[in-house]
Amino acid sequence: MVKKTSGAGGSGSGSGKNNSGRGQRDLRVRVKTARGRKLSSTLWLERQLNDPYVQRAKAEGYRGRAAFKISEIDDKFRFLVPGARVVDLGCAPGGWCQIAARRVNALGEKQGKKVGSILGVDLQEVEPIAGCELHVLDFLEDDADQKVKNWLGGQADVVMSDMAASASGHKQTDHIRIMALCEAAAYFAFDVLSPGGTFVAKVLAGGAEADLQKVLKQNFTKVQHFKPGASRADSSEKFVVATGFRGLEAE
């Protein structure tokens, strides 16, 4: 059961006026633990219901709160420009594609601006998104890079990824898994990016970033980390943003 509670307690006076200020408090959704449901599931549901980014995503028609992460990242680094060709790895449910489509002018709504393109790939089928071309593809396949370039009609200006490996519950194991996934995404980006291109991917803080940092610095003019406000404060996630792709170089 879901119910809303306030800090006021008791009933109102009927006048609609409250000088104590207690009635001014924001309502918070609380979730009762149902029989057969784990406490962790109940806490997750309660957090979702009270998350302002989740509520805002619903109000603005985005498919998830992650849309605001890429929005904030691009506000800072400005790589989703009109005319850009973008590849979104692991694009489900599609929030990043939604933001990118608007910013690169994929629908041609910005008069006088170049029209960009968004190519989203994922292991599962994704519901259509206006201005985006979506494919079921494992980017780890040997010929995945060639397929992507064929679909794009050339090289990409941006490769971005919000992918995360399935959580094991063991912090260090999860860190290693997501870093391995991020490294694989980076090497994929090397194969499809055009000179000057940008790579953006989610990583987890935990000490295994050195190898990724090294290879990115070899192949991009600038490598930075950023934690957007839409990332939860208790999450160790951050995003690596590598700009100015210059091609693979011998180590």
Local structure of 25: helix, strand or coil: coil
Cα angle, residue 208 at apex, residues 73 and 212 outer, rounded to 5°:
60
Q: Which of 37-51, 137-151, 182-196, 215-229 comes out lowest in average pLDDT? A: 37-51
Check if the beta carbon of residue 44 is closer than 8 Å to that of residue 234.
no
Residues 24, 137 share a domain: no
Q: Is the domain of 70 the same as that of 90? A: yes
Of 117, 53, 51, nearest to 81 by C-alpha is 117
> Which amino acid belongs to residue 112?
G
Mean per-residue pLDDT of the chain: 81
Answer yes or no: do 106 and 223 share one domain.
Answer: yes
Q: What does the pLDDT read at residue 230?
A: 82
Residue 9 has pLDDT above 60, yes or no: no
User: Is 151 within any annotated ligand binding site?
Assistant: no
Q: How many domains does the chain have?
A: 2
- The answer to whether 174 is annotated as binding is no
39-48, 109-118, 161-170, range with the lowest pLDDT: 39-48
**Tokens coding 51:** 């998350």
pLDDT score, position 135: 98
* Catalytically active residues, by annotation: 202
Beta bridge partners of 222: 243
The length of the chain, given as a count of residues: 251
Q: What is the CATH number of the domain that holds 181?
A: 3.40.50.150
Beta-strand relationship, 156-161 and 193-204: parallel
* 162 in a labelled binding site: yes
| 14-33 per-position pLDDT tens digit | 334 444 343 344 444 444 45
For the stretch 178-207, pLDDT in tens is 899 999 999 999 999 999 999 999 998 766
- The answer to whether 122 is a known ligand-binding residue is yes
- What percent of the chain has a predicted confidence (pLDDT) above 70? 75
Share of the chain above pLDDT 90, in %: 58
Tell me if 94 is assigned to a ligand binding site: yes
Q: Is residue 207 part of a domain?
A: yes
pLDDT digits (tens, 9 = 90+) for 81-121: 999 999 999 999 999 999 999 999 999 999 999 999 999 99
